[in-house]
Structure 1
């Protein structure tokens, strides 16, 4: 049960990404609907010569950079915790008096937390790189001529890929809450993870924001 509680949040994070792609086939998610708005944005951006699009792109990249930097700090903090592993084991056994949590159990759990945040960091940095490519292509577009539909498609696709990787990194933070609940008990880790899974699923496919955006028709 101790190992199951450690693995469950990480497995649910991976499983959610696969499940969401299946559900999107029959019910578009908020991310899919916003992808159409991203194509609309690019279509309009190449026809105007204003700093508005540069400002919007900069705001996107700033948000991704913030989370990437924060994730690095969390990774460093986790390495620091390994230096105080005995104190952590003692604290966990006080919180969970009925469980016999060993040093190995805590080390494995910390390693899994480290894995999910390393993967989150990779998602954020990939997102940042893709948004950077989007900005380059947007800047390279000739606003005085009719744009190639393929060029618009590629720019919108890069923007969407950046958003998807950013969302994947954000979800890692959500499921990491389940890993933190493990320090209370493995059952708490599983329960919190299931709750988070349901909340994210609701927000993506059934929330008020999703339903409002879905009402708009995009050519």
Structure 2
């Protein structure tokens, strides 16, 4: 019985990818609790949105906003299904023919190519679950917005609890969507693995750096922080 052994450079590149994937998720959650991030800054506006919902009876604008958010999640979910279908169709002998025509691609055994495709397939399956779950959460949020109590129609304590939990659901929906988008970013690194394991390693590190910069050191984050600070001063 032949024992299949992954080449050392491929094993190192894959291990670094998995480390970056899992550690980035953990580090991002840890940092978000200790310093401003893109997600935590947007969450402030989600809470403000849910508070405004309870201050008026007409929710036409809110329905339009929720519809846009829902369409975005459903678009990526349907796109991911097509990607999964294409990857499944490539499994087998066709995979070697496609990869052999890539420029600068390193030769690999057929089972190694299938392993690369399966890892990429698993990543898009993860993205599909995240986008569909985000869409479902936005559906629930739409129902909650439609049933929101208004000032004078319920006790202040009940309204505060309603606002807090509605904002929490909006945050969870946004986080699921963000995790799906993050999977797309790391899928770019996996595509580089079909060309060369060293390129795979380099692109993985670049993707992790780009994600970190956009979430914790981007001009957009700075603008959100200024708007949040301005709103805080106005409310005092």
TM-score (norm 1): 0.92
Where do 5+ consecutive residues of structure 1 fail to align? Answer: none
Q: Following TM superposition, by how much is the alpha carbon of 1:177 offset from its aligned partner in structure 2, in angstroms?
A: 0.6
Matches within 5 A, 1:1-219: 1-50=9-58, 51-83=60-92, 84-88=94-98, 90-91=100-101, 95-96=104-105, 99-143=106-150, 145-146=153-154, 148-215=159-226, 216-217=228-229, 218=231
Give the conservation status (yes or no) of the 8 Å contact 2:76–2:131.
yes
CA distance in 1: counterparts of 2:40 and 2:206, whole angstroms? 23
Aligned length: 216
C-alpha displacement of 1:22: 1.3
Q: Is the partner of 2:126 in helix, strand or coil?
A: helix
| TM superposition shift of 1:88 | 3.4
How far the C-alpha of 1:127 sits from its partner, in A, is: 0.7
Give the Å deviation of 1:204. 0.5
State the structure with more CA Rg: 2
**TM-score, normalised with respect to structure 2:** 0.85
Q: CA deviation at 1:189?
A: 0.7
Distance 2:130 2:16 in 1: 20
**Unaligned regions of 5+ residues in structure 2, if any?**
1-8
Contact 1:71 1:120 in 2 (8 A): yes
**Structure 1 CA distance, aligned partners of 2:162 and 2:69?**
21
Ranges of 4+ aligned residues in structure 1 off by more than 3 Å: 6-11, 88-92
- In the alignment, which residue of structure 1 is the partner of 2:6? none
The Cα of 1:13 is off from its aligned counterpart by: 2.2
Q: Does structure 1 conserve the Cα–Cα contact (< 8 Å) formed by 2:149 and 2:159?
A: no
Where 1:49 maps in the other structure, the secondary structure is: coil
Alignment partners' CA distance in 2, 1:175 and 1:3:
17
CA distance in 2, matches of 1:137, 1:75: 33
Q: Considering only aligned residues, what root-mean-square deviation do their CA atoms show, in Å?
A: 1.8
